[in-house]
Amino acid sequence: MGLQGVEARLDRLSAQMDLCLAEVMSWRGLAAQPETRTAVEAAAAENAASTVDTFKLLHASDRRESETSGDKSLAASSTTSDDRRGSNGDAVNKYQSRQMLPVRSMDLKVAWKLHARELTRELGELSESDQQMQPLLRLVYRSRADYVWELLDDPNSSIWAWWICLFLKLLVTVSVLISNLEAVKPPLMETTLVAILQTSFDAVFLLEFLGRISSAPSKKAYLMDSLNWADLLSALGLPLRACLGF
């Protein structure tokens, strides 16, 4: 709408300029006639006054439009600045809240101390190396005993643990089978061969039990577990054979 109004005003101005030019061109022909000079000058003065009035009106209307557009732009800019200021304020508040919440909610140093105290109560007396180690390092540090315990207790921890578990299962099966064959009358295997095999099996079971008890995180908990009593009984086979003279 604003551009159309400006074009309409420009068209009117061009039409008035055409009239002025036509009148100026007509002055040349009337300049030689002194009686018409006064009439031409009066007409020119009237046209000039009307042209000046038109320019004044156009200037006033343009000023009003510029003021209106300026007010709108100022209002829009003020609204944008307010929104931006509000969003910045929200962002600052959110940042402050995110920054302050962890400090008020938890003290990590105290949490690690409490966790280390609980571990100390569960494990009982700690060695000198464990006591010198910081609580955080104690949680992530793994000794050789930890690797041995994982190797014997968790078959899914590695391929070696899986093969050791399978070997021990086969060894138990073969040991039971040989014991049954020895009890058959007449015996299906020689007595000397059976004694050698049984002694070898008992030595393996004793080594397994010693590895488990030495690498257990809590030896008391290991011995109190009824599922581990079978390992204890199997480990007693070699000492009993030694006492009986093989």
Q: What is the mean pLDDT of residues 121-138?
A: 59
pLDDT digits (tens, 9 = 90+) for 156-183: 888 998 999 999 999 989 988 888 887 7
pLDDT interval class at 131 (50, 70, 90): low
Which of 14-18, 165-169, 232-236 has the least mean pLDDT?
14-18
- pLDDT exceeds 50 at position 92: no
The pLDDT of residue 47 is 55
For residues 133 and 141, is the Cβ–Cβ distance under 8 A?
yes
Whole-number Å distance between alpha carbons of 25 and 64: 36
The pLDDT of residue 132 is 59
Q: What are phi and psi of 183, to 5 degrees?
A: -80, -10
- pLDDT exceeds 90 at position 143: no
Q: Please count the other Cβ atoms lying within 10 Å of the Cβ belonging to residue 209.
A: 19
Q: What is the mean pLDDT of residues 31-48?
A: 54
Whole-number Å distance between alpha carbons of 51 and 15: 11
Q: What are phi and psi of 127, to 5 degrees?
A: -75, 170
Query: Which range among 72-81, 186-195, 201-210 has the greatest average pLDDT?
Result: 201-210
pLDDT digits (tens, 9 = 90+) for 204-216: 999 999 998 888 8
Whole-number Å distance between alpha carbons of 41 and 212: 127
The pLDDT of residue 51 is 54
